[in-house]
Structure 1
């Protein structure tokens, strides 16, 4: 079985050695460099990667991905698309070969997109950027996805349970190109519900509250927008935009709508708990964190956020119990919070202070 890693790069010299070490289990590594001005190309070639340098203008991620895929030799069996700020845990090839079947089209694998400040995992979901060599192409200018364009139906998705990839991005790298590319993506495919959701979310990140609300309400109106987790995420961003506009009543209503849409998610319940915390409604904090903590199955999609599964629920309960004079219960919650983030100095301090008060 021939496995080829392919990627795009630009000014990522700092990642080359770590990335090539990680990708060394592949039979071949090919890279499309789109105009590095540092020594990325030279370092990649020195480590054995086959590098082609081409400018993509106007810039689109799907065009760049498709061009990099063209560089993969025709006799490859499995293509592994990665970025240079990502690394596999050792043994990924063996785990992939074990999961792969002759009729498979794609493989999904565990992906840690972010890490907490204490080193623990943050946002974790399952990615699908491993695929057979022929029959696929990338679509959308940004947040690009694989689309089957071969004859007949695509092969089934297999789960490569032993494959783990971590994302360690450069925090100084700008994402300024994302917004115009998302706007272009929605112009090109106005009925694509995922792109509309991404665009509304991006407006939120830019502080364009009204554009966020209008766009995400449109997402919710699309007949294809049926995935409850993503619908709830749109409702939550609408609520947060209303909070930024100084309208907590509308925000609360949208948070409740999100909770009703996807009651199996911790996120909307934690949003309501945070709203109660800000309003010093301590009984509300305890009620909504209690609902959140009763949810014990963590989803494996990108919608799942880190904070509701970290120390935050217990930390909020600690504050609520402390503010209502129930210090022994506050200590119990503080200890639970600290167990999930043992290096956090504030959580450590909470435990120390409450212990002295017993």
Structure 2
């Protein structure tokens, strides 16, 4: 019989405890390693009967992989399915029964969907395939942005895919500082100097710190690393090409940005993102016919990958917004209105999108009125 144990690390998560426990209680066991809460989280977990086991461990030098491996050790021996979540994450109702029914005797890992963020309409925005349901043959590696790796023979992984059945949603606590991530990423790079994935994460962190010049330099270095063309680093290559294109767009160097978009498409023509990004730049350059063509190509060739290369709004309203603007400028008002209506649906609080839609409707009404007058005159 399959038994599920949810395991987690936490620090000062008091406001999330009840909702998280309600959601995770579909599992057979819940174990938590508190890493030094001072807001009453640890005491509340000790008192709650839904928690199978909770311990507190304060680290002199904290790193996520060590803490997660320590929390995994708290799982009861008879649990054969281990599920790692954080306190600001919640599954869809019924997730545990779905997992139990689909987990086979030789399964080592399960993939499911993860919504990292949401738009103003409440729709999952950054959604990709996640992999933190596993058996006991895995361990956590890397000080930050840690990942699960098999202890022995990674080629023997036997996975199941439940992306159409299980969704984990993230409701980020933005009040928490992330400044210590930077130091941990530098440590990860020191420990793994030839790993392009780790270097890419450091490059991204520079962008989050608003250091665009260093971020660009780091991403360009990633693209020169020997392992970036390895099959298992495919997403690192694609993400770095796309990120460099976005940076050059922000720097108004559209020629370079378009070149990197084209390089991305040469590597894989089935992502919407580079087509849409080129469409965005052609709109900025007032080259609306080219913009329309690029965005339409993205809609035609794009296949939803559910990976972290895809930008959050690529499969929501971004393409329709871009296409609507281009078609409005090309005086294709009926087509523009259809696309703008979709964009408004996905971003109802974006005043620019709403104003564009209203302007388009006004132009349609104007042409209808003029057409009616012409007919009456004749």
Q: TM-score, normalised by structure 2?
A: 0.87
Among 158, 161, 184, the residue aligned to 1:159: 161
Deviations 1:44-96 (A, max 9, x none): 23333222111122110001101111111223211111100001111111111
1:170 is the counterpart of 2:173: yes
Structure 2: runs of 5 or more not aligned: 365-378
> How far apart are residue 243 of structure 1 and its match?
4.0
Secondary structure of the corresponding residue to residue 144 of structure 2:
coil
Question: Is the Cα–Cα contact under 8 Å of residues 110 and 163 in structure 1 kept in the other structure?
Answer: yes
Question: Which position in structure 1 is the counterpart of 2:119?
Answer: 116
Q: Distance between the aligned counterparts of 1:257 and 1:284, measured in 2?
A: 18
Question: Which position in structure 2 is the counterpart of 1:19?
Answer: 20
Question: Which position in structure 1 is the counterpart of 2:263?
Answer: 257
Deviations 1:73-122 (A, max 9, x none): 22321111110000111111111112211111111111111111111110
Question: Is the Cα–Cα contact under 8 Å of residues 110 and 162 in structure 2 kept in the other structure?
Answer: yes
Question: Which position in structure 2 is the counterpart of 1:333?
Answer: 339
Q: Distance between the aligned counterparts of 2:297 and 2:355, measured in 1?
A: 27
Q: Give runs of aligned pairs for residues 45-194 of structure 1, distance below 5 A.
A: 45-48=46-49, 49=51, 50-132=53-135, 134-150=136-152, 154-161=156-163, 162-194=165-197
Q: TM-score, normalised by structure 1?
A: 0.92
Q: Structure 1 residues 256-265 or 336-345, which shifts more?
A: 336-345
Q: Structure 1 residues 64-73 or 206-215, which shifts more?
A: 206-215
The structure whose Rg is larger is 2
Question: Which position in structure 2 is the counterpart of 1:283?
Answer: 289
Distance 1:151 1:225, change over 3 A: closer
Secondary structure of the corresponding residue to residue 129 of structure 1:
strand
Deviations 1:173-226 (A, max 9, x none): 222122211111111011222112212222222233333233223322333323
Give RMSD over aligned pairs: 2.2
Q: Structure 1 residues 230-239 or 325-334, which shifts more?
A: 325-334
Q: Structure 1 residues 44-53 or 76-85, which shifts more?
A: 44-53
Secondary structure of the corresponding residue to residue 308 of structure 1:
coil
